[in-house]
Amino acid sequence: MKLMKVLFAAMMVGVLAIAAGCGNNDKIVVATDAAFAPFEYLDKGEIVGFDVDILEAVMAEAGLEYELKNTGWDPLFAALDDNQVGFGISGISITPDRMESYDFSNPYFESKLLAVFPESLKISGMQDLAGLKIGVQNGTTGQEAVEKILGKNHSAISKYDSTALAFMSLKAGNVDVVVTDNTVAEEYIKNNPNDKLQTYTDPTLFAPEYYAMAFPKGSELKADIDAALQKVIESGKYAEIFEKWFGYAPNTEVLLQ
């Protein structure tokens, strides 16, 4: 009887050890929507991009283990709401609306919106968007900006689950214009030279936006991530990653203010 108890105890210790070691319990799950090149996209099944490299550098600096999960855009925020992930990195702009529901790291990238459309169209002001079919990714700042011009749920606005889908729709001629982040727009235009696309931006309507990692409100991770990000920027690692993806040196001053 005594032997049985000892054996049982030993077995339980074993089971617990396996559970702790094998599970990803100790890894922080980071959510992303990997259809937003060059920030996060799939390359032969692997998630790559500027954000992915920044995340890797920051987590190494913070000494934290993590697993990057391609949840998609809307599910990313749902996962934050339910505390199912540690945080999200996905070219997420800090906005007043989102600040009510999430905590943000310090910013790591400056962006602005662009309208992308075929060279055959003439757009010289935002008023020219009226009468055109516009594609945006659902739940993005692009959608918000276009709705500010045309009105909420306007019939000319098509909302897609991903920015990649919005671009496919532009290629197919289902929409005339896509409004999205400048760096993503420029990457798409570069990769699709035959589509003969051009861009327009409105400096007053499309103000600078800042990307940051988004946490569930009250997350204790934020402080560690901010400290690590600061070190990654100050050490020059940030500039190295930036140059690798964009081919020029970043202005880190804006980020450190």
Using CB under 6 A, list all residues that contact ligand ARG.
33, 36, 40, 73, 90-93, 111, 137, 140-141, 163, 181
Q: Which is nearer to ligand ARG, 66 or 167 (CB)?
A: 167
DSSP H or E run through 32: strand 28-32
Closest approach of ligand ARG to the CB of residue 184, in Å? 8
Q: How far is the CB of 56 from ligand ARG (least distance, A)?
A: 17
Looking at the chain, list the stretches that DSSP marks H as alpha helix, in order from N- to C-terminal side: 2-22, 50-62, 73-81, 96-101, 141-150, 163-171, 182-191, 221-234, 237-246, 253-256
How far is it, in rounded angstroms, from Cα 1 to Cα 74? 56
Contact 180, 36 (CB under 8 A): no
In the complex with ligand ARG, the residue whose CB is nearer, 140 or 199, is: 140
Helix (H, G, I), strand (E, B) or coil at 90: coil
Question: How far, in Å, CA of 90 to CA of 41, rounded?
Answer: 10
Closest CB 133 distance from ligand ARG, rounded Å? 20
Q: Among residues 231 and 246, whose Cβ is nearest to ligand ARG?
A: 246
Please report how close the Cβ of residue 143 comes to ligand ARG at its closest, in angstroms: 8
Query: What residue type is assigned to position 241 of the chain?
Result: I
Q: Which CB sits closer to ligand ARG, 105 or 140?
A: 140
| Separation CA 122–CA 177 (nearest Å) | 11
Q: Nearer Cβ to ligand ARG, position 90 or 219?
A: 90
- Provide the minimum distance between the beta carbon of 161 and ligand ARG in the complex, in angstroms, as a whole number: 9
